[in-house]
Amino acid sequence: MRQYELIDSVISYKPDADKELLEKAYTYGTKMHGLQLRASGDPYFSHPVEVAGILAELKLDTTTVVCALLHDTIEDTAATISDVEKNFGKEVAKLVDGVTKLTLLEGNLESSKQAENFRKMVVAMAKDLRVIIVKLGDRMHNMRTLQYVSQERQIKKNKYYLRGPVQPSL
């Protein structure tokens, strides 16, 4: 999805959307992710753009779409929460920080007990449901693009995302 397509999509359901903020987030994300690539060989920033597109299809507010564009900048680039806050405001920074923390916490889950504790913690800490919505959009796009990673990683991601035994097809 190109910048103008994403912005047009948001404007179609929210004519007073902050077009400049969307453009700024798109440009910032492109710059921060630079030459990073996904397993598919696509530019890494295509992932946050697709997540933003999923959320725009759901007609979410501009701040949430901006968060989707920036959701991996803290984790995967040199950007800091302070940078995000300075450039996009406290509300966007708070959402991006929440998504980043969810991602970091998820990486430490190895048992069903840990997963249940994580679920309880997410429910308790999610003062703003938009954090969870962005994270679900992130997972959705990752699941849509699993074919680009090894079968071993596909199985691991499926187990992780679905929390059930997944047997490889031979």
- Comparing CA positions, the residue from 57, 69, 49, 65 lying closest to residue 17 is 65
| Distance between CA atoms of residues 163 and 167, nearest Å | 12
- 72 catalytic residue (yes or no): no
Q: Between helices 62-70 and 129-144, what is the axis angle to 10°?
A: 50
| Distance between CA atoms of residues 110 and 112, nearest Å | 7
| Distance between CA atoms of residues 30 and 1, nearest Å | 13
- 75 catalytic residue (yes or no): yes
Q: Exactly one of 5, 42, 75, 116 is catalytic; name it.
A: 75
Q: Exactly one of 76, 83, 97, 128 is catalytic; name it.
A: 76
Output the CA torsion sign for 31, 36, 38, 40.
positive
| Distance between CA atoms of residues 28 and 25, nearest Å | 5
**Catalytic amino acids?**
75-76
